Amino acid sequence: MNANSLKWIFLFSLALLWGSSFILIKKGLVGLSPLQLTALRVLITGVFLGIIGFKKIKQIQKWQWKWIAISGFIGTMFPTLLFSYAETEIDSAIASILNSTVPLLALVTGILFFSNQFIKKQFIGVVIGLAGSVLLILAGASLNPNQNYWFAVLPVIASLMYAFNANILKSYLEKISALGIATGSFLILIPFALGILAFTGFFNVEFLAQEDVQTSLLYVTVLALFGTALAKIIFNRLIQLSNAVFSTSVTYLIPVVALFWGYLDGEQFNLFQLAAGGVILLGVYISNRKKKAKKTKVFDKT
């Protein structure tokens, strides 16, 4: 299969995996704290990737381990923690729509920190997208006055981290296999995850015996194996096949999947929020739209 076809298959697969992650986080938080959920997700993913991808880390050169570590923290651990804390106060579907700012932020970080070219239409798209994010937060606050919508800032910060990570992967780690990058970054995170779990009393027998905790463990295991391990491998490979902007455009599709799960779970969503989400996606579309080539007319002088 050629690279162009493969990247679209990867894009839609990621949308399904990551779009389902938000409801899994919500269910996992029933019995676990945000810190525990984050650490457990990292631990399960790290053990799984260590088993299947340990040999791949030989591809990583000494100077690249710095970027592998940074990618692990800003591409996985910190964003996961921020989204987990956010979903203690806001709906999972709203968090997924705010995640749609990643391509816009990938453009901004690429221009400011990675010497990418500044393009006027991309700047316009960024402004429109961020305006949509503000509207979405305001709409959610009016619909759900019992929810603390200051927590909606957390997914935006997480999205900024994802944007930096996408550019780091493209700039410094492009020649390492996708499995190698994922395995290396999670092996670095495992000690931190174990420390967090021990600190929060996760390994207490009485705690683990609770029914809510056991149910949450099931959700987090599914989240770790599919929404993190498999998704990370696919995303890293997608970055290598395309670029940071195309890869992060998976956030066009993630809200569709997340809204479906949120609706089934009884989350409220009104037309104003839908319109605000549309504004975000419009901004992303404008930023990523390719300029059409001008047609030149050929005149027959005979």
pLDDT of residue 292: 53
User: CB atoms < 10 A from the CB of 33, how many?
Assistant: 16
The separation between CA 22 and the C-alpha centre of its own chain, rounded to angstroms, equals 10
Q: What is the mean pLDDT of residues 43-47?
A: 95
Percent above pLDDT 70 for the chain: 88
Q: What is the mean pLDDT of residues 55-64?
A: 90
Can you give 103-123 as a three-state secondary structure string?
A: HHHHHHHHHHHCCCCCCHHHH
Q: Give the pLDDT band (50/70/90) at residue 122.
A: low
Is 112 a residue whose pLDDT tops 50? yes
Cα distance between residue 247 and residue 234, in whole Å: 10
* 243 or 71, greater pLDDT: 71
Distances (CA, A) of 189 to 6, 35, 45, 193, 286: 30, 14, 10, 6, 36
* 250 or 275, greater pLDDT: 275
Least confident of 158-162, 192-196, 211-215, 249-253: 249-253
Which is nearest to 25 in space by CA: 68, 71, 67, 79?
79
Q: Is 222 exposed, middle or buried (0-12, 13-18, 19+ CB in 10 A)?
A: middle
pLDDT of residue 19: 87
pLDDT tens, residue by residue, 169-180: 888 888 888 889
In eight-state DSSP terms, residue 299 is: -
The chain-wide mean pLDDT, for the chain, equals 84
Is 196 a residue whose pLDDT tops 90? yes
Q: What is the mean pLDDT of residues 46-52?
A: 93
pTM of the predicted structure, to 2 decimals: 0.80
Cα distance between residue 295 and residue 297, in whole Å: 7
Region class of 9: left (phi > 0), else alpha (psi between -120 and 50), else beta = alpha
Q: Give the pLDDT band (50/70/90) at residue 67.
A: very high
Q: Which residues contact 62 (CB under 8 A, 6 or more apart)?
A: none
pLDDT of residue 212: 96
